[in-house]
A and B are shown apart, each in its own frame.
Chain A
């Protein structure tokens, strides 16, 4: 199958709703080929009906290695190559570290971190064989800066950031790029269906009230804007390693890094003394 520079082949996880779905729609609308994947294929089959020549719909559960392997094989068979692999599947929990159950933490990491690893590791031999590719990991502004009651979600997203940046250096010799895309607040299902903690504690009521009030007032952006950003990133000659999606999130990250720099300066002498060599 011949490939024009402007026609890419994609595989995207978690396409039943949110960024995954909007991104698949945008890429298909511009003529790219997309392996649209989700845990339940009936949630995405309309896209294959609409784009019979360029979309394939595949069942893919990132927590199931067999399902990942099968979907990747079918996608590579159908398109001959995958230019862009998007690890998008994920979910969030709003709760204090003390309030979330062990099972919730386990599940959060199973999807948000280990799922990314499973998909990426399964795709790597083929990406190296084809001599190029772009891995896009959807993290969050919460992968750059943490806030109360999303500490565990942030941990998982921070982990994906650390993974992405080391992976980028490992894969550069093979022509494979890696970008972490960090959306702020968009009107995806994520915004309204964040999981609640298993054990609510009165000690954190005030923190919950504050966050809920903030979310209630927040103007959520159209996820199409984030999908457009991802198209720009994958079309770029030199894509960023990390990119924030959203102006408000951008400000928050800028402020966080400013504060980190200031704190480092303040403690520089102590840091220096810690390592006299």
Chain B
């Protein structure tokens, strides 16, 4: 089924933009949003009948409210709500600037929650919808110097898993998108620590080599896959974007399951005595 109506955050560049362009190109209607409304105005010019460009900063509640209202007023419904806006702080936990960590959580997690909370009454009222939350392969597999970013993305995973169970009864689906390495601005715009600590330099160098050597996917390809997810009768709860992400998550699941098995006896013994009272 085509002819879907989308609401997408963070459309100035990267996945948000690629997804908006791909959906518009096939004739879907899209509320193309970004904190910089001017950065998405070209899409509304190119697709005057099907694109609605809106300035929405996901850290500003009033902009979220007016953006969601404008999209529902204009299109009558939103079928797919995509929480894409996000960025990374790349720093050791010890050296990170907490104000930046907070700013990252504000966009990656609290912004996502706010958009969802604002849209949910309308999605419930229309009796259907598909919420797609961008996490990352880092929402499933954590890494050094990315622990804080991963914490924000793990949080999105936990939110999405629980939400799916909460809103399934209202006909609303939830999918977490977990891209691996893609040629978005993401890699180059990761925020480095203001005061890097010498102690973490060896780790930083090895991480930069690793990231520099990763093959980068094209955001357009992920966008096409997300249209497939939007069209699926029974979409997945979680979706690994790219075979590298798929392999990393799969390997991580294997090692988690091995550890779970290795410690089973200790785990199981922990609740062998019932409490006398709660």
A residues with a Cβ closer than 8 A to B are 96-98, 105, 109, 113, 117, 120-121, 124-125, 128, 142-143, 145-152, 154-167, 169-170, 173-174, 183-187, 191-192, 203-204, 206-207, 219-226, 228-229, 232-233, 240-250, 253-254, 257, 260-261, 263-264, 266-268, 270-277
Contact between A240 and B225, CB atoms less than 8 A apart: no
Ranked nearest first, the 8 interchain pairs of A and B with the lowest CB-CB distance are: A166-B147, A275-B242, A151-B162, A162-B154, A158-B158, A187-B275, A221-B271, A146-B161
Q: Could you tell me the distance between the alpha carbons of A133 and B252 in the complex, rounded to whole angstroms?
A: 25
Q: Give residues of chain B (208-229) contacting chain A, Cβ–Cβ below 8 Å.
A: 215-218, 221-222, 224-225, 228-229
Contacts of A247 in B (CB 8 A): 267-268, 270-272
Contact between A96 and B166, CB atoms less than 8 A apart: yes
Q: Shortest Cβ distance from B112 into chain A, in angstroms?
A: 10
B180 beta carbon closer than 8 Å to chain A:
yes
Q: Could you tell me the distance between the alpha carbons of A272 and B239 in the complex, rounded to whole angstroms?
A: 11
Contacts of B49 in A (CB 8 A): none
Contacts of B171 in A (CB 8 A): none
B230 beta carbon closer than 8 Å to chain A:
no
How many residues on chain B are close to A (CB under 8 Å)? 93
B84 beta carbon closer than 8 Å to chain A:
no
Contact between A242 and B256, CB atoms less than 8 A apart: yes
Q: Given A244-B267, A270-B239, A272-B246, does the pair A162, B142 have CB atoms closer than 8 Å?
A: yes
Q: Shortest Cβ distance from A109 into chain B, in angstroms?
A: 8
Interface of A is mostly: helix
Partner of B270 from the list A109, A221, A263, A267 (CB cut-off 8 Å) is A221
Q: Given A163-B93, A244-B260, does the pair A170, B147 have CB atoms closer than 8 Å?
A: yes
Contacts of A155 in B (CB 8 A): 109, 113, 155-156, 158-159, 162
Contact between A167 and B162, CB atoms less than 8 A apart: no
Contacts of A166 in B (CB 8 A): 93, 142-148, 150-151
Contacts of B229 in A (CB 8 A): 270
Q: Given A120-B93, A166-B144, does the pair A263, B236 have CB atoms closer than 8 Å?
A: yes
Q: Given A162-B139, A163-B93, does the pair A271, B239 have CB atoms closer than 8 Å?
A: yes
Contact between A222 and B275, CB atoms less than 8 A apart: yes
Contacts of B150 in A (CB 8 A): 162-163, 165-166
Contact between B180 and A275, CB atoms less than 8 A apart: yes
